[in-house]
Amino acid sequence: MSLLESFIADYKARFAKVSPLFDTTLLGAVKKVQYTLLDEKFSPSLELKKALSELHKRAEEPMKVAITGQFSSGKSTFLNALLAKNILPTGITPVTSKVNYICYGDTFRMRVRYVDGRDVYHDISAISTFIDQREEVQDIAYLTLYAPLDILKEVVFVDTPGLNSQGSQDTQTTEQVLKEVDGIIWLSLMDNAGKMSELKVLETYLGEYQNKSLCVLNQKDKFTPEQIEETMTYVRKAFGEFFSDVIPISAKQALESRSHDKKMMMQMTQEGVLEKVKVLLGQGLEGLPKEEIETLFVGYYEAIQGIRSLDVSANIALLETSNITKVLDFIQDEIRPKASQAKEFAIKKEIYHVSEALIAQHRLFITIYDELLVHIRQFEHEERAKLKELKTKFSKDLKEAFMRIVTIIETISDAIYQEIGKHTRVRFEPQKKKMLSKQICYVPHPYDAPKINSDTIYKALFYDENIIGKMFKQYVKNLSTIQEEVNVNNLLVYQALEKRVLKWQAPYEIIRKREAIHSDIEFANIRKFASKAYETILKSFHDEIADSYAKISSEFNHLSSAVSFNYQNATEVCVAFLETKIEKSIALYEENPTRFSLYIPKKEEIKERLRTSFHLYELENMMNAHHTFLSKDYDRLMEKFEGLAEEKVLFLEKRKERHTKIITVLEGLRESI
């Protein structure tokens, strides 16, 4: 291992993310979900973070028990009795017009949540200002009261407006609360219990909550045991379908007995001392009167000792008589187990839905990529078949164009051959005048020598009728048509892919997340990916078409210019060659007619010379061979397109792979929870 590889391995080992261990509790499960789903690779949305935070909060928070009933049933007094402290105001009119959540806190304080989302904290003594229906409290959503009472560590009490109070909004608010809480205590006055008006309310609002509902009949202290028993029997029979149990209590006796409880008296004494100390500290440390501080704490000690020595047997008896402990036992023994099960079921169900929503999101992304993959694979199959078809067609057209040149050469060769004539020439053969004489005389011998009428050829082919010019114009026009059709059809092959991709692109450029907890970043990435479809998918194919266009155009231009701008010169070169050859043969013939003959061009020789002058063999390799330049270009284009298609497939499969891995994680998380 190299030094660099060793460093990288060490870095990964040091900084690799190690998954923490989570316990098997409900809270542990929620923490595991948060740890997993809020990882950066999931690109979590704010809504998902908020939803998981709410789940965490729900897993941590104690059970909720709502106190409800008809107005003036003493709900606030009853709650004060449960808390053993006069926190809530009481009155004859339906005082509680807002939902009050009573929770554990380090100090007594009150949080007011306004309908616009603001939170404002107040001293708890100001509560009546915010819940009294006689006050203007329309802009208040709900209140949360915090108190340092041990019972609130296990239970959040929800004080609700009555179900038949003066405002319909109050009733709707209470109805919503009943759906959300873990337990319901229906409070009714002993002398009102079982009335038809109460039955109608119960039938309307409490018909589906029997398993978590308790009926508490207040003010038992005003009735004899016989009257209480008679009322209990009647209520159990009349309202049994709405409640798990019916308990008679005296909130007044419970509050009185619990307010004289030693522990409560000590706490109140301690609060009083601390309040006085806070006042003294507010005056500054330098001016603290030591004697007053000492007196304060001596008095506190004596008061505590006095409370400890009190005989509270009467209070204990009064507390037992009040029956309030039975209500607390019901909360602990009946509501708590069901609440725990219900909360665990609800939270795990929500986790399941969150997982399913996120899995659906990533399956959607995979589907989007799959749609594009289908288009690319279909294009890959179709373009190969189409390019093969075009290769065959245009190779045939190119060969036909080549045969036009062959025809032109035939025409020129015919014209030259027809203009090969004869003219009389005289050769002089030396002879001796006499047998023994040394004198030589030259004897003329007329003979017919071949001659090419070049002027007539040029006039016929290039000037008067311009036969060859017209033929080459048609040839060039035909080449131009083939070139245009090749480029147009090649572009159509690309446009078939472009059409598919643009059709795929349209809906995904504007796609929005389907559910609130879906990832904004992931959907933004999909929109960006779709908007960049040309750069990502199409451009490389388009570049190949453009490159092919340039190469093909260059080749066709060469084919056009190779002969069309040089055909007259090529003909003249051919004629000049033949004339030179004739002249040479005449010279040799006249020198020695017995040894040399006159050269008269044959038709095939003329054609061969024209083929050479026109570079026909080079053109044949380009236009009429097994692998023409068009064939080669189509082979190259098919190879390039196949390579690009495979490259895009691998690219998309890699993008899919990321989402597949995330789905695997989500499914594993869902199953583990």
144-181: pLDDT as tens digits: 999 888 888 888 999 887 665 555 666 777 777 887 78
> What secondary structure does DSSP assign to 142-167, as a single string?
EEEEEE--GGGGTEEEEE---TTSS-
Mean predicted confidence (pLDDT) in 536-561: 92
580 backbone dihedrals φ, ψ, rounded to 5°: -60, -40
Strands 140-147 and 109-114: antiparallel
What is the model's pLDDT at position 266?
65
∠ CA(484), CA(487), CA(489), 5° rounding? Answer: 105
Q: How far apart are CA 74 and CA 222, in angstroms?
A: 14
Q: Is the pLDDT of residue 15 over 50?
A: no
Average pLDDT over residues 84-110: 75
Average pLDDT of span 327-354: 86
Q: What is the mean pLDDT of residues 507-531?
A: 95
Residue 584 or 628, more confident: 584
pLDDT of residue 92: 44
- What size, in residues, is the chain? 673
What are 2's two structure tokens?
A: 């190299």
Please tell me which of 119-123, 566-570, 645-649 the model is most confident about, judged by mean pLDDT: 645-649
What average pLDDT does range 97-116 have in this prediction?
87
Least confident of 63-67, 94-98, 428-432: 94-98
Pick from 229, 273, 220, 276: nearest CA to 249: 220
CA separation for the pair 277, 281 (Å, rounded): 6
Q: How much is the average pLDDT of 41-61?
A: 90
Place of tokens 């973070």: 49
Cβ-contact 191, 224 below 8 angstroms: no
What per-residue string of b and e applies to 534-562 under the rule 16 or more CB within 10 Å gives b? eebbbebbbebbeebbeebeebbeebbeb
CA pair distance 48, 41, nearest whole angstrom:
14
Can you tell me the distance from the alpha carbon of 117 to that of 645, in angstroms, rounded to the nearest whole number?
Answer: 54
What would the pLDDT profile of 128-138 be if each residue is shown by its tens digit? 777 665 556 67
What topology does CATH give the domain 60-250?
Rossmann fold (3.40.50)
Mean pLDDT over each residue of the chain, to the nearest integer: 84
H or E segment and range at residue 308 = helix 290-309
Q: How many angstroms separate the CA atoms of 577 and 468, rounded?
A: 20
By C-alpha distance, which of 606, 614, 610, 607 is closest to 564?
Answer: 614
User: What's the CA gap between 564 and 595, in Å, rounded?
Assistant: 43
Beta strands across the sheet bearing 63-69: 119-122, 109-114, 140-147, 100-104, 155-159, 63-69, 183-189, 213-218, 245-248
Helix (H, G, I), strand (E, B) or coil at 105: coil
Counting Cα atoms < 13 Å in the Cβ hemisphere of 219 gives: 12
> Higher model confidence: residue 429 or residue 144?
144
Asked if residue 494 lies in contact with residue 644, where contact means CB atoms within 8 angstroms, the answer is no
Helix axes 603-613, 567-591, angle to 10 degrees: 130
Q: In the chain, where are the structural domains located?
A: 3-55, 60-250, 349-672
